[in-house]
Amino acid sequence: MTISKAQLEGDFIQMVQQHQWLVYKVCSLYADDAEERKDLFQEILLQAWKAYPGYRGDAAISTWLYRVSLNTAIGHRRKRSRSPDIVYPELLHHHPEDVLTETDREQYKLLQQMIAGLPQLDKALVLLYLEDKSYNEIAAIMGISASNVGTRLNRIKEKMKQQAQKIS
Calpha distance 52→64 (Å, rounded): 9
Count CA atoms closer than 13 A to 47's CA, side-chain side.
Answer: 20
Give Cα separations from 73 to 27, 41, 44, 123, 150 (angstroms). Answer: 7, 9, 7, 11, 23
How high is the pLDDT of residue 108? 76
Task: Give the tens place of pLDDT for each residue, 86-96.
Answer: 343 444 444 44
How high is the pLDDT of residue 6? 87
Count CA atoms closer than 13 A to 50's CA, side-chain side.
Answer: 9
Per-chain mean pLDDT for the chain: 82
Calpha distance 43→45 (Å, rounded): 5
Question: What's at 3, amino acid-wise?
Answer: I
Calpha distance 44→23 (Å, rounded): 8
Is the model's pLDDT at 12 over the cut of 90? yes
Task: Give the tens place of pLDDT for each residue, 31-68.
Answer: 878 898 999 999 999 999 999 998 888 888 999 999 99
Calpha distance 68→162 (Å, rounded): 32
Calpha distance 109→38 (Å, rounded): 24
Task: Give the tens place of pLDDT for each residue, 91-148.
Answer: 444 444 455 677 777 777 778 788 888 888 898 898 888 888 899 989 888 888 999 9
Calpha distance 45→114 (Å, rounded): 28
Decide: helix, strand or coil at residue 91.
Answer: coil
How high is the pLDDT of residue 148? 93
Please provide residue 119's backbone torsions phi and psi, each rounded to the nearest 5 degrees.
-60, 155
Is the model's pLDDT at 18 over the cut of 90? yes
- Could you give all domains of the chain from N- to C-terminal order, each with its CATH number? 1-82 (1.10.1740.10), 92-168 (1.10.10.10)
Task: Give the tens place of pLDDT for each residue, 29-39.
Answer: 888 788 989 99
**pTM, full prediction:** 0.64
